Amino acid sequence: MFELHPRLAADTREVTRLPLCRVLLMNDRRFPWLILVPQRPEIREIHQLSPADRATLVEEIARVAQAMEKLHKADKMNVAALGNQVPQLHVHVIARFASDPAWPNPIWGRGTAEAYEPAQMATAIAAVKGALGA
Amino acid sequence: MFELHPRLAADTREVTRLPLCRVLLMNDRRFPWLILVPQRPEIREIHQLSPADRATLVEEIARVAQAMEKLHKADKMNVAALGNQVPQLHVHVIARFASDPAWPNPIWGRGTAEAYEPAQMATAIAAVKGALGA
């Protein structure tokens, strides 16, 4: 049975659930930063998913990335499955801007996360839900 | 018409061509580091590919990542499409080890690339080709 990794649960808030992935908002208001987690148990690598799940994963990545690009007028989308610290397969989808504090570098390990205020978080989640039509 | 971005051409050597992607070896012997480039013109984002190309892309990623994991007995595979510096869509597939110089952080922007010696490069390319059955 799928269970969200406690570290992901602690660092994010749930936005919605797609057929394969749980869509989570990273609690770091410095970056529009979502995390997609395939709701399958014991998966660490993309190649451990079934081909059917992989096909769904890439479509859900595309749908979420396109929605975030449009919502935030992003200069570039960053998509990554790293997992060196949290072993449960999860895919980062991050809207990047030439004006953001890490540009043009990747965002991981830069500075310290800045948590959303509760009202900001609610607004951010509603905006992503709206963009996804979810 | 597809043409490889000059920055990617300068930083890599070609390993093989799959139905969709060119498979390139990053010229940095610190990490087993491949780059997949869909041979489609004017594409910056995964969501700009057709659904059929996306399905092929994720299968080629899985094939290459699984081969590299096995070849190098990797602890973790890192897969990422960033493109903040080189706009042509390209996907990093990197074998990571708890003993590598960047672990557990991502490898981008860490230290300076160390070029392969020509004989080392030939050996590395042959090993990847063998692992891919290419």
pLDDT attached to residue B87? 96
Residue A109 has pLDDT above 90, yes or no: no
Name every chain A residue with its beta carbon within 8 A of the beta carbon of B55: 55, 58
pLDDT attached to residue B110? 86
pLDDT attached to residue B134? 83
pLDDT attached to residue A106? 96
Task: Give me the residue from B55, B83, B106 closest to A55, CB to CB.
Answer: B55
Cβ distance of A62 and B47 shorter than 8 Å: yes
Mean pLDDT of successive 10-residue stretches along chain B, which has 134 residues:
98 98 98 98 98 98 98 98 97 98 93 96 98 93
**Chain B closest-CA separation from residue A34 CA (Å):** 15
Q: How many CB pairs under 8 A join A and B?
A: 107
Residue A25: both structure tokens together: 């908002």
pLDDT attached to residue B93? 98
A30 falls in which pLDDT band (50, 70, 90)? very high
pLDDT attached to residue A21? 98
Sign of CA dihedral B64, B98, B113, A111: positive
A134 falls in which pLDDT band (50, 70, 90)? confident
Cβ distance of A80 and B85 shorter than 8 Å: no
Residue A99 has pLDDT above 90, yes or no: yes
Q: Which domains does chain B have, with CATH numbers?
A: 6-132 (3.30.428.10)
Q: Which of A35, A49, A63, A84 to mutate against chain B (most B CBs within 10 Å)?
A: A84
Which residue is closest to B98 within chain A, CA to CA?
A84
The rounded mean pLDDT for chain A is 97
Contacts 24+ apart (CB under 8 A), A49-52: A49/A89, A49/B62, A51/B59, A51/B62
Taking the Cβ of residue B7 and every Cβ of chain A, the question of whether any pair is shorter than 8 Å is answered with: no
* Span A97-114, average pLDDT: 94
pLDDT attached to residue A110? 86
Cβ distance of B58 and A57 shorter than 8 Å: yes
pLDDT attached to residue B109? 85
Taking the Cβ of residue A80 and every Cβ of chain B, the question of whether any pair is shorter than 8 Å is answered with: yes
Give the residue, A134 or B32, on which the prediction is more confident: B32
Residue A47: both structure tokens together: 């190649």
Task: Give me the residue from B76, B81, B109 closest to A79, CB to CB.
Answer: B81
pLDDT attached to residue A20? 98
Residue A101: both structure tokens together: 């504090």
Q: Region of A58 please: left (phi>0), alpha (psi -120 to 50) or beta.
A: alpha
Residue type (1 letter), A110: R
Strands A91-96 and A76-81: antiparallel
Other Cβ atoms closer than 10 A to B38: 23
Which residue is closest to B51 within chain A, CA to CA?
A59
